[in-house]
Amino acid sequence: MIDLRSDTVTRPTDAMRAAMASAEVGDDVYGEDPTVLALEERVAGLFGHEDALFTPTGSLANVLAVAALVAPGQEVLCEARAHIARAELGAHGAINGLTMRTWSHPRGQLDLAAIEDLFAPDLGPFFVRTTAISVENTHNFAGGTVVPLTDLKALRAFADGQGVAVHLDGARIWNAHVATGTPLAEYGAVADVMAVCLSKGLGAPVGSLLIGSREQMVEARVRRKRLGAGMRQAGILAAAGLHALDHHVDRLADDHANARLLAEACGVDPASVDTNIVAFDRADAPSFVAAARDAGVLISAVGARTIRLVTHLDVGRADAERAAGALAKLVG
């Protein structure tokens, strides 16, 4: 089976397991795990922020990130298919007590005119107040699309003008960085708080980081513990992340090339594939997924009609070619 359901399905390499096995550890709830501290410092630095906080999942990093910016009873604006809106099981309402309104873009892009229309300043006890705007880069359900830096900078300027915060869901910001050559710090500069994943394309078994100011991380550390996610000798996991940063960033370009190959096989314009995700609509999505499985390729339906294929560390060129051949037969 060639598994293209997600880039979360990767298994740690032998070298990554060795790095984990030899990690120096301590109790991170006491702030004494040197490997966790090293990872947090390194990732904060990569994005030009003061501090970072290691979390077990990207969903938790997003919940903590948005909570750092939006108080209960206030709202965050995001794209309609954003992970925070669709795939975090309502956590931002259920846990953070905030509301969301959305704009829609077929490629998950920013739409500043729509955002300006939605934006609600503090009008007293009449309307929900917008206190953050969230952007996802790359955009998962829109097909791994990159949000251009110029658009992010325009959003930053709007946010500064209105005194509203920007949250960046950078679960796959590494892919955007490799696809465009944009320095990570340039992405970091547009966000007040951001979240990044180590367990997607980077191939770590577990782990994400919340990134922002020292003050925000102090508060987020309290919220993380309150939610039961204070981890002890987590350096075992952080070591996988450090190893991934050393060895698995540049190779994302291979995943992007494989995704374009698969797109072509599925009748999707490869030029529309920015990174490692191919998304396209088919009326027969569930039966197409089943037929692909019968042909030895696991793919997923991420909506009633939307098919998604994701390339990753455990799918080499030969596997991608084999999957492309099988899918081309089904599409043809």
The residues of the shown chain that bind ligand PLP, judged by CB under 6 A, are 57-59, 62, 83, 136, 140, 169, 171, 197, 199-200, 208
Considering beta carbons, is residue 314 or 321 the nearer one to ligand PLP? 314
Q: How far apart are the C-alpha atoms of 117 and 62, rounded to whole Å?
A: 25
Considering beta carbons, is residue 174 or 324 the nearer one to ligand PLP? 174
- Token reading at 325: 């051949």
* Nearest-approach distance from CB 243 to ligand PLP, in angstroms: 18
* Nearest-approach distance from CB 318 to ligand PLP, in angstroms: 26
Task: Give ∠ CA 86-88-93 in degrees, rounded to 5.
Answer: 90
Q: In this structure, are strands 193-197 and 208-212 parallel, antiparallel, or unpaired?
A: antiparallel
* Nearest-approach distance from CB 8 to ligand PLP, in angstroms: 6
Beta strands in 104-223 (DSSP E): 130-136, 165-170, 193-197, 208-212
Is residue 195 helix, strand or coil?
A: strand
Considering beta carbons, is residue 207 or 326 the nearer one to ligand PLP? 207
* Nearest-approach distance from CB 114 to ligand PLP, in angstroms: 20
* Nearest-approach distance from CB 295 to ligand PLP, in angstroms: 26
Considering beta carbons, is residue 60 or 164 the nearer one to ligand PLP? 60
* Nearest-approach distance from CB 30 to ligand PLP, in angstroms: 25
From residue 111, give the alpha-carbon distance in Å to each of 78, 115, 167: 10, 6, 15
* Nearest-approach distance from CB 302 to ligand PLP, in angstroms: 10
Considering beta carbons, is residue 9 or 291 the nearer one to ligand PLP? 9
10 Å CB burial of residue 105 (0-12, 13-18, 19+) is middle
* Nearest-approach distance from CB 196 to ligand PLP, in angstroms: 9
Percentage helix, strand, coil for the chain under 3-state DSSP, each rounded to 5:
45, 15, 40
**CA nearest to 102, candidates 78, 133, 75:** 78
Considering beta carbons, is residue 169 or 255 the nearer one to ligand PLP? 169
Q: How far apart are the C-alpha atoms of 152 and 14, rounded to whole Å?
A: 38
The DSSP code sequence of 283-296 is: TTHHHHHHHHHHTT
Return the exposure string of 60-96: e unless at least 16 CB atoms fall within 10 Å of the residue's CB, then b: bbbbbbbbbbbeeebbbbbbebbbbbbebeebbeebb
Considering beta carbons, is residue 299 or 326 the nearer one to ligand PLP? 299
Q: How far apart are the C-alpha atoms of 77 and 131, rounded to whole Å?
A: 9
Considering beta carbons, is residue 201 or 235 the nearer one to ligand PLP? 201
Q: Which residue type sits at 49? A: H
* Nearest-approach distance from CB 59 to ligand PLP, in angstroms: 3
Considering beta carbons, is residue 67 or 171 the nearer one to ligand PLP? 171
Question: Any long-range contacts for 281-285 (C-beta under 8 Å, 24+ apart)?
Answer: 281/305, 281/306, 281/307, 282/307
User: Which residue has its beta carbon closest to ligand PLP?
Assistant: 58
